[in-house]
Amino acid sequence: MNWVIAPLDSSFERAQFDCGDDALNRFIRQHARQQQDKHLGQTRVAVAEGLRQVMGFYTLSAGSIGFQSLGEQLRRKLPKYPIPAARLGRLAVDKGAQGQGLGHKLLAHAFTAVVELSGKIGITVMVVDAKDEKAATFYRRFGFISCQDQPLALYLMTETLCGAQFRRLG
């Protein structure tokens, strides 16, 4: 399947999106555009080439992570105040596209966006709050590390995003 990932706008069909999680379904159907319009987060959607039905999405926003949340080895290299971060707020794939690699493609797209942005503003890490242990396991496969104080909160250094393993994802 050829997937196209683009900024969310009103031309995309979201009403039938169903990833199996009511909160994520509600977000893309009812809240993503409003939050985007208010600059609270930027959502990118995945559609099959030539179609407008949303089959996956992710949202990025700016944020920070507490110094104490990071691993000890990393803390030795950083100042003792909140560290600038890009926050992957949500990532979901419709049931009809699950198991086809779309989640990997969306994550790779998000990585590229964060790397590009880190060349313009200070971003030291990419953070994500996994909704459950299954989601955390997905992110750990790509090198995300659990925060010291919250195992479902994970982070990945932006310098790691430039690595070869992530270029192969896209």
Catalytic residues: 139
Contact 28, 36 (CB under 8 A): no
Give the separation between CA 86 and CA 63, rounded to whole angstroms.
6
Round the CA-based radius of gyration of the chain to a whole number and report it: 16
Q: Which of 78, 81, 77, 49 is nearest to 64 (CA)?
A: 81
Task: Write the single-letter amino acid at 83.
Answer: I
Give the separation between CA 17 and CA 19, rounded to whole angstroms.
7
Give the separation between CA 98 and CA 42, rounded to whole angstroms.
22
Give the separation between CA 110 and CA 2, rounded to whole angstroms.
18
The CA distances from residue 64 to 14, 39, 56, 128, in Å, are 30, 17, 25, 11
